[in-house]
Amino acid sequence: MPAPGTPLEHLGFLTIGTFDPADPAAGHEATLRVVELGERLGFDSAWLRHRHLQYGISSPVAVLAALTQRTSRIALGTAVTPLAWENPLRLAEDLATVDVLSGGRLNPGVSVGPPMHWDDVRASLYPDTADAEDFTYGRVERLLRLVAGEPASTFSGREGVVEEWSERVQPHSPGLRSRLWYGGGSTRSAQWAGQAGMHLLTSSVVRAEGGSTDFAQVQAAQIRAYREAGGTGRVSQGLVVIPTDTATAGQRERYAAYAAARAPRVGVPQGPARMLFAADLVGPSERIVEALYADAGFREVSEVVFALPFSFAEEDYTQILTDTAGRLAPLLGWSPPV
């Protein structure tokens, strides 16, 4: 529980990995450089968002595979992979492969629910099985079993001269099951994650519950619900945090405009699901630290995955990450690994 005098234990960051559709390679390469910088700065983890049919990373597992060869220490995660778009068996193979390549540094985060714009994509995603697909927690449970090494087939053994078949997903990475996270934004999802033995990723979006529209209070209650349901894993908070200590005047102006454009939705439930958004924290590190210590959700965690804002330039991310690791996080008691 971070409070003045109690060190923040784990510092991570999250990026969407935006790119120009006319030159996607440049944007993906920039994301690789940003994560490499994060490792040099001492961040404990780097996480990639999952964006389908948008101009952000659509295949974070593939990008993380590249990062296993360009980093050596930093933990690598997805925040989060929507399982409605995935076949759990195939995803289990991909995750295990990347975990093996990384030396056991992968932290997959997943979520469930129908795909966004379901009516628009169902004919392309599941042309023959759309009405039969299971988008419930059962889909996560399948993934957990497969990653853990439970049988995926009734057949194993030698076939022909050289083919050797396994009954479980290969490669098998023994520690991967213990590093799976659930991205939750409601009391029900937090409780389920605790009961399933998963870690809990919280973000800057939660469902308004309990008659409250105070984001921090709602998030804190959901984190407590996770633990009361038996959750003993790690819990990470993911607010948008933008320190401006070494920012140029132009950067400060852009950051302030970004936060101002998003501010009207803060404290106002959005859409049929009544989603609440956290305020973006922008300013000098000392002021951000005060805001974090006053945040009820932050007081319930010992680690963070601060989200980089969308659509900024690489030099902006460099400044934000450098100030976060060099100025903001030390004020929270964090120190880089030796």
pLDDT digits (tens), the chain, 338 positions: 566 878 999 999 999 999 999 999 999 999 999 999 999 999 999 999 999 999 999 999 999 999 999 999 999 999 999 999 999 999 999 999 999 999 999 999 999 999 999 999 999 999 999 999 999 999 999 999 999 999 999 999 999 888 999 999 999 999 999 999 999 999 999 999 999 999 999 999 999 998 899 999 999 999 999 999 999 999 999 999 999 999 999 999 999 999 999 999 999 999 999 999 999 999 999 999 999 999 999 999 999 999 999 989 999 999 999 999 999 999 999 999 98
The confidence score (pLDDT) of residue 4 equals 80
The confidence score (pLDDT) of residue 311 equals 87
The confidence score (pLDDT) of residue 1 equals 52
Domains of the chain (ranges; CATH) run: 10-152+165-331 (3.20.20.30)
The confidence score (pLDDT) of residue 5 equals 77
Torsion angle, alpha carbons of 230, 233, 234, 236, to 10: -50
The 3-class SS string of the chain reads: CCECCECCCEEEEEECCCCECCEHHHHHHHHHHHHHHHHHHCCCEEEECCCCCCCCCCCHHHHHHHHHCCCCCCEEEEEEEEHHHCCHHHHHHHHHHHHHHHCCCEEEEEECCCCCCHHHHHHHHCCCCHHHCCCCHHHHHHHHHHHHCCCCCCCCEEECCCEEECCCCCCCCCCHHHHCEEECCCHHHHHHHHHCCCEEECCCEEECCCCCCCHHHHHHHHHHHHHHCCCCCCEEECCEEEECCCCCHHHHHHHHHHHHHHHHHECCCECCCCEEECCCEEECHHHHHHHHHCCCCHHHCCEEEEECCCCCCHHHHHHHHHHHHHHHHHHCCCCCCC
Question: Is this structure's pTM higher than 0.95?
Answer: yes
Ramachandran quadrant class, 146 (left: phi over 0; alpha: psi -120 to 50; beta: rest): alpha
Please name the residues in contact with 277: beta carbons below 8 A apart, sequence gap of 6 or more. 204, 205, 215, 262, 265, 266, 270
Angle of CA points 38, 41, 45, to nearest 5°: 45
